[in-house]
Amino acid sequence: MGFIDEINRRRTFAIISHPDAGKTTLTEKLLLFGGAIHVAGAVKSNKIKKTATSDFMEIEKQRGISVATSVMGFEYDGYKVNILDTPGHQDFAEDTFRTLTAVDSVIIVVDAAKGVEAQTRKLMEVCRMRNTPVIVFINKLDRPSKDPFDLLDEVEEELKIKVRPLSWPIGNGPQFKGVYNLFDESLYLFEPSKQVLEDGISIKDLSDSALEEQIGTDSAELAREELELVTGVYPEFESETYMNAEVAPVFFGSALNNFGVKELLECFLKIAPSPQPAQAEERLVTAEEEKMTGFVFKIHANMDPNHRNRLAFLKICSGKFQRNTNYHHVRIGKNMKFSSPTAFMAEKKSIIDEAYPGDIVGIPDTGNFKIGDTVTSGEKLNYKGLPSFSPELFRYIENADPMKSKQLAKGIDQLMDEGVAQLFTSQFNGRKVIGTVGALQFEVIEYRLLHEYGAKCRYEPINLYKACWLESDDQAELDDFKKRKLQYMAKDKFGRDVFMADSAYMLQMAESNFKNIKFHFKSEF
Ligand code: G4P
């Protein structure tokens, strides 16, 4: 197969949802279709359980398993599918944000009874920042659900994207009869206990009496009415508006019952984008370019403290990646060869000789890589990562064992490279502040510093509201501000100035006293 064909047949995406909407279940069903796993439950075991919120030992165990499911690749119908796993737990939302920088599209799972939930809204904001095309799968129709029109309105309003249903549910809960697939004009009947896959019944003309025969007069009447409304209200599906992230196609189904999943997958493969051009600071890079380029979007530390190897996840953006070939690590300006790059085929990890744009390659690393690093065939290129977002929680981190200060510094440094949390160093007194999205990360950091680096840390409370990155055309005012607020000024790990506001009120005052300074909750504006 030629290079271009290899690119065109790749679909690299992530499934995102609010916890419990059914992301894990849907992922598993897709893998079952791909023959990548053979029993349900294989992915489930990777999930960080709700009950584990305060049990970081459990999290550590889960983290070990999750290497295997970080990327789930499989072949289906001539396509090479790469699903990038995202942690459902909201304390790890940053990981999910970063993973979204490595995908070409996204499937959003929404619970039909609960509608759009908080975490989904947040993740959608990241998709919007990058114009990522999304498909929505409304799940759990086998349970009493909200009205489908209301659900669609909710998606439009909450996720700020137009929708176009490509399937339509007939009833829900105990009365769930099935879905009519507008994409292939077929009726799929639902039988809760039966998980066999049957082809749909082709009903091109909805006035056909076959509809009554299948679902009864009342349901047929209602389905006709609703479907007429659907075609009247929503614009025709156009792949262009989907690709431009203006319209989200919507499917209905029940992942647990493997219902509506195959149709989703098959339509997804047809319409979802193959590897898209990637934006570097210097220029836009297309997948078809001959020279290899890629960036690291995730780093996974080894669980075994005796082998402090890490695995860097490299997303290939252009060209063919080859084993034992000289590549350029742009940030440190060094050339290196990778002798054992791995690919991920669901449960299996194996050494590969080559990879194509859209693929994720795992590279064993002893500390050369940071999240966001670019690797190329030689060009000095820097892929644009995601901006840093202000953390929600802050604590001072102190050394609790004076004999181990070097280990502590190294440990903190490496954990920050991995993106476990953000580090801010006070410009006033040099104290270090760790900022996280969730409370869990503090425990993870303390535990890992001890077990992987032999260093002991101690936290001290600090009362902070937000970290703000500063923007101003007025250098004099900016300098004046930094001088006056020195106590609250810190540097982030890239050496950028950050104002650590201790309350919303303090921030408000700063904004009104320094009119020429903009305060941002993220590092790029
Ligand atoms: P998540 O990854 O988005 O957090 O969700 P997950 O797939 O784990 O699903 C959350 C719960 O919802 C699970 O039940 C799962 O079985 C259930 N579920 C998923 N899809 C459907 C569906 O189509 N219909 C119904 N009725 N339920 C569905 P649980 O009780 O939390 O877990 P488990 O003990 O069943 O594994």
Question: 74-88, 155-169, 282-296, 470-484 — which is least confidently predicted?
Answer: 74-88
Predicted ipTM > 0.95 = yes
The answer to whether the annotation marks 21 as part of a ligand binding site is yes
pLDDT of residue 51: 46
Using pLDDT thresholds of 50, 70 and 90, give the confidence band for residue 147. Answer: very high
Residue bearing the CA closest to ligand 1, atom 30: 20
What DSSP character marks residue 522? B
Is the pLDDT at 50 greater than 50, yes or no? no
Q: Among 113-122, 149-158, 303-312, whose mean pLDDT is lowest?
A: 303-312
Nearest CA to ligand 1 atom 28: 256
Sign of CA dihedral 253, 113, 104, 241: positive
pLDDT of residue 417: 87
Residue 22 annotated in ligand binding: yes
Residues 486/438, Cβ–Cβ less than 8 Å: no
Substitution site in 256, 258, 264 for ligand 1 pocket (most atoms within 8 Å of beta carbon)? 256
The pair of structure tokens assigned to 401 is 């064992």
Q: What is the number of the ligand 1 atom nearest to the C-alpha of 17? A: 3
Per-residue confidence band for 54, with pLDDT thresholds at 50, 70 and 90: very low
Q: Is ligand 1 within 6 A of the CB of residue 30?
A: no
Residue 436 Cβ inside 6 Å of ligand 1? The answer reads: no
Cβ of 143 closer than 6 Å to ligand 1, yes or no, is yes
User: How close is the Cα of 261 to the center of ligand 1, in Å?
Assistant: 14
- Count other Cβ atoms within 10 Å, centred on residue 118: 10
Contact between residue 469 and residue 482 where contact means Cβ atoms under 8 Å apart: no
CA-88 nearest atom, ligand 1:
4
Task: Give the type of residue at 203.
Answer: I
Nearest to 322, CA basis, from 354, 294, 293, 350: 354
pLDDT computed for residue 303 by the predictor = 56
CA-nearest residue for atom 24, ligand 1, is: 140
168-202 burial string, b = 16+ CB within 10 Å, else e? bbbbbeeebbbbbbbbeebbbebeeeeeeeeebee
The token duo for 271 is: 């319409």
Q: Is residue 328 a known part of a binding site? A: no
Answer yes or no: are the C-beta atoms of 179 and 260 closer than 8 Å.
Answer: yes
| Sign of the dihedral defined by the CA atoms of residues 149, 151, 155, 157, in that order | positive
What is the model's pTM? Answer: 0.88
Structure tokens at 150: 């209301």
Query: What whole-number percentage of the chain has pLDDT above 90?
Result: 64
